[in-house]
Structure 1
């Protein structure tokens, strides 16, 4: 029978205190993962640099291989598994994917789930050698968070160009990672893009912050769940889409976090 008890709101959900041998083992495994994953990316980037001689649409398989490989390393070394709910809620065509953001995990994990996805990321990331080159090559959309309304206008131009090519735009509506238990802090970008793009919005909830705590290197073993929620049709007023997006993401995120904190049954 489905549990009908409402989960506690985000500001009442606290991560457990972790210490002792289990924490130490997880920390060591996390450091090993960070080293191996970095080496894996560097080797892949150098070996396959030649793909940038060709149109990116023909080489997106490389992006899938890298991100899936990174998730495999995370599972083998750190014991982090993935559960995906609601993939059938994804439209076949262009869409705006509005995801909760609790950890760096989703910036990689969402990529193989969205073969035609491009991620909106902060402009500074494009300056990182190798990573920035590939991000630009694969059409990831940079945003200058310090440029105010000018940044939103340029974001709309870039997103419309991507949608015209059939891509699905991934945005983190809060703009940055929010730890478990922090109150929601949604920025206007997602609602602005929804209004400009006139495509369905798919809210995404997750609980990555339980196993990959905010501003910590440690990754704890367990299962991270990501949930693609029913799409919201285009054309709604801004106030309505804002309310529907936030309620959908926060309610499902609260549920997923509560389940993760309760542990396996």
Structure 2
């Protein structure tokens, strides 16, 4: 049954993704806000099918921490699920993503219409400049900006170095950073097409006002909250690392 549901969901994605991308392309002459709404309609549709077909539910804690104005979301990245869920949970937003995704047929074409920030991860300094410059423009337009600071999807219980791009953008634009922790990778794993039923918990932390902090301090504050929250909510993901940490 698990394999059948996962297969049906994959077929659904193949059927629904091209029309959404094509509609977005055909709407190119229309205002960008209209194009974006057309393309963004894909995310809640996929989320609905994930819930009712795959049995992947979700619960959000900390909604009261969402600020009124634009902000930079700094989130844990474990799967493709959160790239859709964040669009449903938060106000209109755009993502910082690797430029190679634009080459993916239909998905990449739709992504190009979402006002996202495509960066070349191989050019670290230029990529940081792109995040700050383009991110400030998106924030001025009223978008939120989502950054996955670890740069790629990480395994359950793993932590990679947090890149400072999101923190630098928040510091330069003087907007808050909203940290997000979740366990999407527990049910929507990065290394298999099989999806497992269960409840994903998305925890939204208190907004971090940049104030007089520099980018490194903001980045550290976001990292500390996310990693502490991950261990508080999902200690079973980190059980294998506890003896090593204690020994060190």
TM-score by length of 1: 0.83
Q: Could you say what secondary structure the match of 1:84 adopts?
A: strand
Structure 1, residues 150-172: CA drift from partner, whole Å, max 9, x if none?
12112211111111111110000
Contact 1:96 1:199 in 2 (8 A): yes
Alpha-carbon distance change, 183 to 48 in structure 1, aligned in 2, over 3 angstroms: closer
1:75 aligns with 2:51: yes
Alignment-derived partner of residue 169 in structure 2: 193
Counterpart contact for 2:72–2:145, Cα < 8 Å: yes
Cα displacement (A) at 1:259:
7.7
Query: Which residue is 2:94 aligned to?
Result: 118
Change (3 A) 1:242 1:115: closer
What TM-score results when the alignment is normalised by the length of structure 2?
A: 0.88
Q: Specify the alignment match of 1:104 in structure 2.
A: 80
Residue 30 (structure 1) aligned with residue 10 (structure 2): no
- Equivalent residues of 2:2, 2:195 under 8 A apart: yes
Give me the whole-angstrom Cα distance separating, in 2, the residues matched to 1:122 and 1:154.
12
Structure possessing the higher relative contact order (Cα contacts under 8 Å, 6 or more residues apart): 1
1:159 aligned partner: 135
State which drifts further: 166-175 or 233-242: 233-242
Cα distance in 1, alignment partners of residues 237 and 10 from structure 2: 23
The partner residue of 1:237 within 214, 237, 240 is: 214
Report the CA distance between 1:46 and its aligned residue: 3.0
CA RMSD of aligned residues (A): 2.0
Where structure 1 has 5 or more consecutive residues not aligned to the other structure, the ranges are: 1-24
Aligned length: 237
**Structure 2 unaligned spans of 5+:** 239-248
Cα displacement string for residues 163-199 of structure 1 (whole angstroms, at most 9, x for unaligned residues): 1111110000101001112134312322322322221
Contact preservation (8 Å) 2:78, 2:154: yes
**Map of 1:3 onto structure 2:** none
Match of 1:180 in 2: 156
Aligned-residue offset at 1:128: 2.0
C-alpha separation between the residues in 2 aligned to 1:67 and 1:143?
Answer: 22
Corresponding residue of 1:251: 228
Asked if the contact 1:37–1:73 (Cα under 8 Å) also holds between the matched residues in 2, the reply is: no
Return the offset for 1:47: 4.5
Cα distance in 2 for residues equivalent to 1:179 and 1:72: 25
